[in-house]
Amino acid sequence: MISFRSFSKSFGAQLAVDGLNLEVARGEVLALLGPNGSGKTTTLKAAAGLIVPSAGAVMLGEPPRSAQEPAAREVLSYLPQKVSFPDALTGREIVEFYRELRDLPGERVPKVMRFASLNGAGERMVGTYSGGMVQRLGLAVAMLPEAPVFLLDEPTAALDPDGLCAFDALVQHAREDGRAVLFTSHQLGDVERLADRFAILVGGRLVACLSASDLKDRLAERGVMRLRFAPVEGRDWTAEAVLPAVRPLAPAASWSGDELIVPGPASVRPRVLDLVRTLGIEVRGLTADEGQLGELYRELVAEAAPAHGEGAK
């Protein structure tokens, strides 16, 4: 539904996005990650037809049409990173305006106002809204047309826990309806919970694109199991005794204090446990941690940064 074809954009000498190839299919939720200034907003703006690509193209819908064409944007709902509205209009007037602009039935208005929990504030001027209320109004406008393509630029940045909950429901709903969602966020928790795929931009280049199952595998590899053994009179459960036996299964296993540390995928853990039992050791404590998306993200960014560092700043 969204397709970036060798899309590049430069602002003067500044290359903001460099040869991006990326597709978002129906029913797919793709999270675009990357450090500040890595080109996420530029990418979304191009898909919203707001900026003219310096090279390549961005296509929307089926059959694909250039995002530059107004008619192609019928399929689109875009929430800007820092959405704002004229101060002198009320929330309801704004939603009503966009409803008429998109030729939608009147019953959509109370629906999205309720979704955004703006019913109480609907008659107030937007100039009196808090930052999060403006963001909610932006979401209300974005969900108004039930468009097949959602582009959301840091939609959760200003939301309170209730707002986040409503947003999760919105994304879930969009996925079930077979819409394509492309969103950016720095909240890796939201990202991990919501997205089917993760694309990481660094310095305007796509450095990684992982599916949720890729991500699970990658994170599992970075998991770690810690075992503590019950002391038994006359037996020595120290590194020398246990490690040589465990190493063939988990080469990175190590001993720390009184714990056996077994890094690596979850799949080796039961086998290590079995082995330990056959050695006649009693396990007294077991903890297992999965890898953190945050760590993986930082590593991927750091890997890419030296190569593309000059593009970033």
Partner 1 sequence: MKKLRLFAAEELALALRSRWTQIFALVFAALSAAVAGAGYVLSGGQGVQDFARTAVSLVQLVVLLVPLTALVIGVLSLAPERGAAELIYSQPVPRRTVLLGKLLGLFQALAAAQAMGFGAAGLLVYSQAGSEGVGGFVLLVLASLLTTAIFLGLAALLATGAVGRKRTRALALALVVWFVAVVLLDLAALGIASVLPSGPASRVLMVAAIVNPVGAVRTGALLGIEGTGAFGAASLALFRFTRGAGGVGVVLGASVLFWLVVPTLFALRRLRRADV
Question: Following DSSP, what letter does each residue of 48-76 receive, concatenated?
Answer: TT-S--SEEEEEETTTTEETTSGGGGGGE
181 near partner 1 (CB under 8 A): no
38 near Mg ion (CB under 5 A): no
Alpha carbons 37 and 111: distance in angstroms, whole number: 36
Least distance to ligand ATP, CB of residue 211, Å: 22
- Contact positions with partner 1 (CB under 8 A) in 151-170: 151
Of 81 and 187, nearer to Mg ion (C-beta) is 81
Alpha carbons 3 and 265: distance in angstroms, whole number: 34
In this structure, the strands spanning 180-184 and 29-33 are: parallel
CA distances to 73, 134, 158, 306 from 163, in Å = 27, 12, 9, 38
Among 8, 42, 135, 185, binds ligand ATP (CB under 6 A): 42
Of 121 and 293, nearer to ligand ATP (C-beta) is 293
Among 7, 28, 31, 41, binds ligand ATP (CB under 6 A): 41
156 near Mg ion (CB under 5 A): no
Alpha carbons 283 and 277: distance in angstroms, whole number: 8
51 near partner 1 (CB under 8 A): yes
Please name the amino acid found at residue 141. Answer: V
Q: Indicate the angle between helix axes 108-115 and 131-143, nearest 10 degrees.
A: 140
81 near Mg ion (CB under 5 A): yes
Alpha carbons 195 and 227: distance in angstroms, whole number: 33
Least distance to partner 1, CB of residue 37, Å: 16
Of 86 and 244, nearer to partner 1 (C-beta) is 86
52 near ligand ATP (CB under 6 A): no
- Contact positions with ligand ATP (CB under 6 A) in 66-105: 81
Partner whose binding site includes residue 129, from partner 1, Mg ion, ligand ATP, none (CB under 5 to 8 Å by kind): none
- Contact positions with partner 1 (CB under 8 A) in 82-111: 82-86, 88-89, 93, 97-98, 100-102
Alpha carbons 87 and 85: distance in angstroms, whole number: 6
Q: Are 164 and 156 in contact (CB under 8 A)?
A: yes
In this structure, the strands spanning 224-229 and 283-289 are: antiparallel
Residue (of 131, 175, 185) closest to 27 by Cα position = 175
Partner whose binding site includes residue 16, from ligand ATP, Mg ion, partner 1, none (CB under 5 to 8 Å by kind): ligand ATP
Partner whose binding site includes residue 198, from ligand ATP, partner 1, Mg ion, none (CB under 5 to 8 Å by kind): none
Sheet holding 180-184, edge to edge: 76-79, 149-153, 180-184, 29-33, 197-202, 205-211
Please give the size of the binding site for ligand ATP, defined by CB under 6 A.
12
Among 23, 74, 192, 217, binds partner 1 (CB under 8 A): 74
Which residues of the chain form contacts with ligand ATP (CB under 6 A)?
11, 14, 16, 34, 36-42, 81
Which residues of the chain form contacts with partner 1 (CB under 8 A)?
11, 45, 48-52, 70-74, 76, 78-86, 88-89, 93, 97-98, 100-102, 138, 141, 151
